[in-house]
Structure 1
Amino acid sequence: MYTSYIWMAALTVISFLIVLLLRNQRTIIARIGFVSWISLSLYFIFEYIVIQATTAPYHSLDQPMSDLGVTSCGTNTYPLAPYEICSPYHLLMNWTFAVTGIVIFVGAIALHQFWPDNKKTSIATVLLVIFGLSYNISGIIPADINFLWHTLGSMPGMIVQIPALVLISIAIRNEKPSLAIFTCICTVVTTCSLILLFYQPPFISLPGGLLQRILYGAVYFWMVITAVVLWRNLNFERSGR
């Protein structure tokens, strides 16, 4: 079993090195970036497959996504999980987490060329790379294998996307006003989800699993649409020459 997680880590390092080596090949790397971010639209399909295979009750509105990657069956499989978990397709889920993280940071590096060349966008790209790596770690280190490192690795990915999107929206507000507005909307959605996830209003029990999915899903949605918009604009510019 551990061999698979070693391969996940190796693939992460290899992917990172390849995208860095190709970053000056603007046409090739752009296509890689477009495909990477658009492929995020497949995430919830894989999650659905894993959910359908669970042999213990799994409540997607209430339970965290990490439960689907837990490698053992039973109760108390990791701290904060006193309920029963059994996910036979946990390896598929953890590969999905790992590959999702890879396509996020590959896309962030590859599509950086389409943002204005300034400090804001450079910081935003670094933050999106951290976002991807954080998500990647949640797959490489399942919660029941090492809860501490799983948690520490996952935490940045719940926060860094917010300043990243804010910086990008500010940087592109003159050149790409419509995309900037769309970025702001996604920023508000992911920010509200984070606040509600950690602060439950008195006398109200909000569905933590749903909030977590909205938290990440808003960023996935932004990346997919952004990749499509940038790709279409690039093709339009080329056809207009």
Structure 2
Amino acid sequence: MTLSTTLSRPTTLPRPARIGALCLTAAAPLFLLANVVTALGWRNPPFSWATHNISDLGNVHCGVWDTTRPRYVCSPWHPLMNASFVLTALLLIVGFVLAWRLLCHGAAPRVAAWLFLLAAVGYALAGAYPADVNENLHFLAALLILVLGNIGLPLAAFAPAGTVLGEIRPLTLVAAVVALAGSVLFLTQQPLGIGVGAMERVAAFPFLIWASCVGVFLLVRSRTPRRVPVS
């Protein structure tokens, strides 16, 4: 007869993978906090989460911006926002690289991981080149994040059962559906009543939140005792 018993020790992450998991965990909270704090610096008019884009928080000049959707932009704390773009990129790159062996099981997840790294480069570009400084490079950054990064999410859902990404497949699929739908609606300027700025957040935030959830899952999984059969 085979019984199941619980080991006294949980599985442990190698130190590099643990550092990677911590980096992934920190990415979304840091970026979201930077959004909130930078928005608080706006005065006349105050920042609108429905109207203003994420990029507006990083614009370095005050004035009417965007000929297709004119709006007044003045972000006194733009250095904080642009620094958060770059730091978020570093956290994602370090996180995915150090946790690579735990996440890249199968061809599709490996392709997804490369797309996630390109999305991270997009965050770095967005911070280094604000929209009103170099609009072309900033637009390239947006494409890397909203298109390539979000395409990586459904690919990550093809991870084999029993692997890290395989165990969080439902979360990955939800993030993929929301992010891809948000990207299509944002890029085609279809706000569905919530505002173009809000729709951009629907497109951009799921990937970051998912990446942080991956980090948390890795850390929690390493502390969860495994069950092994005992005769």
TM-score, length of structure 1 as denominator length: 0.79
Tell me which structure has the larger Cα radius of gyration. 2
Where is the strand percentage greater, Structure 1 or Structure 2?
2
* Alignment match of 1:114 (pick from 88, 102, 105): 102
| AA at the equivalent of 1:29 | P
Deviations 1:168-205 (A, max 9, x none): 21113454554111111111111111122133569x55
Q: Which moved more, 1:62-71 or 1:153-162?
A: 153-162
Question: Which aligned pairs between 1:64-79 and structure 2 lie closer than 5 A?
Answer: 64-76=53-65
Counterpart of 1:46, as a letter, is: A
Task: Work out the CA distance in 2 between the residues paired with 1:129 and 1:193.
Answer: 20
Q: Secondary structure at the match of 1:160?
A: helix
> Which residue matches 1:192?
181
- Following superposition, which runs of at least 4 residues in structure 1 exceed 6 angstroms of deviation? none
Aligned to 2:51: 62
- Where do 1:1-241 residues align within 5 Å? 27-40=14-27, 41-57=29-45, 58-76=47-65, 80=68, 82-175=70-163, 177-200=166-189, 205-236=193-224
Equivalent pairs counted in the alignment come to: 213
Distance in 2 between residues matched to 1:239 and 1:102, nearest whole Å: 36
2:30, 2:84 within 8 Å by CA — same for their partners in 1? no
Q: Which has the higher helix share?
A: 1
Where does the alignment leave 5 or more consecutive residues of structure 1 unmatched? 1-25
Question: Per chain length, whose mean CA-contact separation is higher, i.e. which structure has more relative contact order (CA < 8 Å, sep 6+)?
Answer: 2
Task: Tell me the secondary structure at the aligned position of residue 84 of structure 1.
Answer: strand
- Distance in 2, matches of 1:180 and 1:226, equals 11
Change (3 A) 1:79 1:31: farther
Sequence identity (%): 23
1:94/1:200 CA distance change after superposition, 3 Å = closer
Say if 1:81 and 1:151 are closer, same or farther in 2 by CA, change over 3 A: same
CA distance in 1, matches of 2:119, 2:135: 19
What residue in structure 2 maps to residue 3 of structure 1?
none
The superposition leaves residues 23-49 of structure 1 with CA deviations (integer Å, 9 ceiling, x where unpaired) of xxx823212211111112232222111
CA distance 1:54–1:238, change in 2 (3 Å): same
Unaligned runs of 5+ in 2: 1-12
Give the 3 Å change call, closer, same or farther, for CA 178–217 of structure 1 in structure 2. Answer: same
**Where does residue 16 of structure 1 map in the other structure?**
none
